[in-house]
Chains A and B, each alone.
Chain A
């Protein structure tokens, strides 16, 4: 099975940096995804990591360490519109299904 943990809530100030951690214990691994979801809306794809290291996309970066079962999403220069839930999802190797963590609600304050 898949066990994916991430913090429930985080609060940060506009312009600051926030790091959302995700740890996973899975029976296999075929990649990790981060999605952003605003309240009442669909998840939007942010990043994909399958190899160890850092992937950078503008203000968002994602890191993966497969040996540690650990990933983080780094949000820089926070804006009010970044207030949302951030979902960590792991893809299984055999059936390639996505399993989601419970999500981290990020609140950006002025």
Chain B
């Protein structure tokens, strides 16, 4: 089983709202990732967690705040977003953090619309 789940599937929020995206995997993977994908563009890496610790932040604005409560869960807290933040947010996980031959498996994504 290579399943990564994400909730919610769709989210509409105003610029003053606070919301959270959730990601879960039960494959025993120790690396988890957040990507942002705009329409007809490839995924762009935002954050990487390795053994529940933040290892890479790709200069993401502070209105995006990741959290890894345990090895199976990854959250992305959203606050004061802008309309240009509307995108598909993908979570992924892989067996070994940042190791070669380490396939990343993606969740179905959350389609975020910021009004």
Contact = CB atoms under 8 A, between A and B. Distances in A.
A, B in one complex: yes
Interface of A: 30-31, 33, 35, 40-45, 48, 50, 87, 89, 91, 93, 95-98, 100-103
Interface string B83-95: 0000010100000
Contacts of A98: 45, 104
B106 interface: yes
Contacts of B102: 91, 96
A41 B109 contact: yes
Given A42-B108, A43-B106, A48 B101 contact: yes
A33 B109 contact: no
Nearest to B6: A42
Contacts of A45: 2, 103-105
B98 interface: yes
Q: How many of chain B's residues touch chain A, expressed as a range?
A: 20 to 34
B110 to A, nearest CB: 10
A95 B98 contact: yes
A100 B106 contact: no
Contact of A103 (B4, B42, B106, B111): B42
B76 to A, nearest CB: 15
A42 B56 contact: no
A17 B17 CA distance: 49
Interface in B35-60: 40-43, 45, 48, 56
A102 B41 contact: yes
A40 B111 contact: yes
B43 A43 contact: yes
Nearest to A85: B40
A97 B104 contact: no
B100 A102 contact: no
Contacts of A100: 42-43
A25 to B, nearest CB: 16
A102 B2 CA distance: 25
A90 B56 CA distance: 17
A96 B106 contact: no
A37 B40 CA distance: 11
